[in-house]
Amino acid sequence: MIYDFCIIGGGIVGLATAMEILKRQPGASLVILEKENVLARHQTGHNSGVIHAGIYYAPGSLKADLCKRGAEATKQFCREHGIKFEVCGKVLVASNALEVQRMEALYQRSQQNGLKVERLDAEQLRQREPNIVGLGGLFLDATGIVDYREVCETMARVIRRDGGEICLSQTVTAIQESADSVTVSSHGGSWRAKKLVVCAGLQSDRLAVMAGVQIEHQIIPFRGEYFRLPAAKNNLVNHLIYPIPDPELPFLGVHLTRMIDGSVTVGPNAVLGLGRENYRKFSINWRDVTQYASFPGFWKTLWQNLGSGTSEMKNSLFKSGYLEQCRKYCPSLEVTDLLPYEAGIRAQAVMRDGSLVHDFLFAQTPRMLHVCNAPSPAATSAIPIGSMIADRIFQAG
Ligand SMILES: Cc1cc2nc3c(=O)[nH]c(=O)nc-3n(C[C@H](O)[C@H](O)[C@H](O)COP(=O)(O)OP(=O)(O)OC[C@H]3O[C@@H](n4cnc5c(N)ncnc54)[C@H](O)[C@@H]3O)c2cc1C
């Protein structure tokens, strides 16, 4: 049989894309191939669970637009399907004069992005968050929290209801495009489809190369290490607490995140990973390390980010350093409050010149679309991303 559509990757981007395709073309035959035995096993299932409002992104950019629309669409999807979510709001805290300056720039950006943001002075900050200190802050009431694994399980139910198939434990090992179809193979079988969409996150560059697509980047894994607070401290904060980020870095800084199950996590940091899917600290995948070590872009980015990279590494090795990043705004935290919690791993696309790709990156051929970079907040933005991907494949005819 020839499927109308095949999608590789059962993370939130692949699932949102499948849902949108079946909505636009009811009755289409569609199959999702996922290598793990559960959906959302990688980035989607290891994130902070935040429905971002979109304060960070350049006004008018694709990221800003997708995030704003995605936050609304995610909340609406949760309402329609009875998924628990909470709009708990978020406070960004400025701890020194430089961060006050950056906070002001962020406030201007939020206004251009049409977001409702309240400026807080030190006293207003203390009233809103008695356990947090800072020179000032920004309060965004639209930020929410959700369990993205639950969102994915629900998306999978919608896809199956609409006639889509989901095949788990199928690692794609070969992709061949011909004039009228694409053949995708795993050790368990092969599938032919008129169109293929690849949403493979941490493995996306390998699948592009496997399909014969020319790419100029490579995925470098960055670990996002978390801790969990003891249950007795679950009410330490009323909102999500973030530092003011360094605009030069793609990561948001270690934050306190209220999770939808009532717990509070601390993190994530951003340290070079020793494997794309190696979640345990110091666990190494030599193939992954050898591959990025032989990529010129890796050494260039390492050199360009030596200062921040070294301090992230130091804080990863020494809990006291990690703690200092949070004590800056939450001084009552002690090292014994940092309990173990599973890390996440980001798929960061890096170009040959060492530049980090901050935006979406796609590669398209007549019958394939590869999502080469779907950076944070792609979980928040997944529904409009799915719609944007569907536009591209339907336009391609
Ligand atoms: C630590 C961390 C915190 C984050 N926090 C947030 C947040 O709070 N809010 C937010 O909006 N975003 C957040 N993000 C970003 C967001 O989670 C990701 O951008 C998003 O989940 C990407 O989804 P994806 O479907 O592209 O990738 P993934 O979820 O990684 O899915 C890719 C899938 O492809 C499968 N696959 C790979 N290779 C093959 C193969 N050969 N054959 C078959 N299947 C294959 C994988 O098994 C995987 O299931 C965070 C990310 C990280 C890492």
Overall domain count for the chain: 1
Instruction: Using CB atoms within 10 Å of the CB of residue 82, give its burial: 0 to 12 exposed, 13 to 18 middle, 19+ buried.
Output: exposed
pLDDT tens digits, 96-122: 999 999 999 999 999 998 999 999 999
Roughly what angle, to the nearest 10 degrees, separates helices 382-395 and 62-81? 110
Tell the residue nearest (CA) to atom 53 of ligand 1. Answer: 346
Choice among 68-72, 115-119, 139-143, 314-318 with the minimum mean pLDDT = 314-318
Sole residue written with tokens 């962020």: 106
Q: Is residue 130 part of a domain?
A: no
Whether 373 is in the pocket of ligand 1, judged by its Cβ within 6 Å, is no
Whether 48 is in the pocket of ligand 1, judged by its Cβ within 6 Å, is yes
CA 12 to centroid of ligand 1, rounded, Å: 7
CA 347 to centroid of ligand 1, rounded, Å: 8
Q: What share of the chain is helix, strand, coil (3-state, %, to 5)?
A: 35, 25, 40
φ and ψ of 170, to 5 deg: -125, 95
Q: Is residue 116 part of a domain?
A: no
What's the whole-number mean pLDDT along residues 242-250? 87
Whether 379 is in the pocket of ligand 1, judged by its Cβ within 6 Å, is yes
**Residue 247 binned pLDDT confidence (cut-offs 50, 70, 90):** confident
Sole residue written with tokens 């200190």: 133
Give the model's pLDDT for residue 397. Answer: 72
What's the whole-number mean pLDDT along residues 73-92? 98
Give the model's pLDDT for residue 205. Answer: 98
Give the model's pLDDT for residue 78. Answer: 98
Q: Is residue 298 part of a domain?
A: yes
pLDDT tens digits, 256-276: 999 999 999 999 999 999 999
Distance CA 219, CA 201 (A): 9
Which of the given ranges, 186-190, 197-201, 325-329, has the highest pLDDT on average? 197-201
Taking 80 as the threshold, does the pLDDT of residue 187 lie above it?
A: yes
The CATH number linked to 175 is 3.50.50.60
The arrangement of strands across the sheet holding 271-272 comes to 271-272, 217-224, 344-351
Roughly what angle, to the nearest 10 degrees, separates helices 12-24 and 148-161? 30
What rounded mean pLDDT belongs to the chain?
96
Give the model's pLDDT for residue 219. Answer: 98
Distance CA 130, CA 333 (A): 13
Q: Is residue 91 part of a domain?
A: no
Taking 90 as the threshold, does the pLDDT of residue 374 lie above it?
A: yes
Supply 379's token pair.
């979980």
Percentage of the chain with pLDDT > 70?
A: 100
* Pair 137, 103: CB distance under 8 Å: yes
Whether 376 is in the pocket of ligand 1, judged by its Cβ within 6 Å, is yes
Whether 224 is in the pocket of ligand 1, judged by its Cβ within 6 Å, is yes
CA 354 to centroid of ligand 1, rounded, Å: 22
Q: Is residue 15 part of a domain?
A: yes
What's the whole-number mean pLDDT along residues 346-364? 94
Q: Mutation test of ligand 1: which of 47, 63, 271 has the most ligand atoms closer than 8 Å to its C-beta?
A: 47
CA 359, chain centre distance (Å): 12
Distance CA 84, CA 259 (A): 11
**Residue 188 binned pLDDT confidence (cut-offs 50, 70, 90):** confident
Q: Which of 291, 273, 292, 293 minimizes the C-alpha distance to 283?
A: 273
Distance CA 314, CA 303 (A): 16
Whether 273 is in the pocket of ligand 1, judged by its Cβ within 6 Å, is no
Distance CA 275, CA 284 (A): 6
Distance CA 257, CA 145 (A): 9
Q: In the Cβ-directed half-sphere of 257, how many Cα atoms lie within 13 Å?
A: 26
Q: Is residue 241 part of a domain?
A: no
What pTM was computed for the model?
A: 0.97
Burial letters 344-371, b for 16+ CB under 10 A, else e = bbbbbbbbeebebbeebbebebebbbbb
Q: Which residues 6+ apart lie within 8 Å of 322 measured at CB?
A: 225, 227, 254, 269, 315, 316, 338
Give the model's pLDDT for residue 249. Answer: 78
Whether 63 is in the pocket of ligand 1, judged by its Cβ within 6 Å, is no
Give the model's pLDDT for residue 308. Answer: 87
Distance CA 198, CA 396 (A): 16
Q: Mutation test of ligand 1: which of 13, 20, 32, 43 has the most ligand atoms closer than 8 Å to its C-beta?
A: 43
Q: Is residue 285 part of a domain?
A: yes
Give the model's pLDDT for residue 133. Answer: 97
Q: Mutation test of ligand 1: which of 8, 67, 258, 376 has the most ligand atoms closer than 8 Å to its C-beta?
A: 376
Domain that holds residue 221: 2-84+143-228+259-395
Q: Is residue 120 part of a domain?
A: no
pLDDT tens digits, 3-39: 999 999 999 999 999 999 999 999 999 999 999 999 9
Tell the residue nearest (CA) to atom 2 of ligand 1. Answer: 47
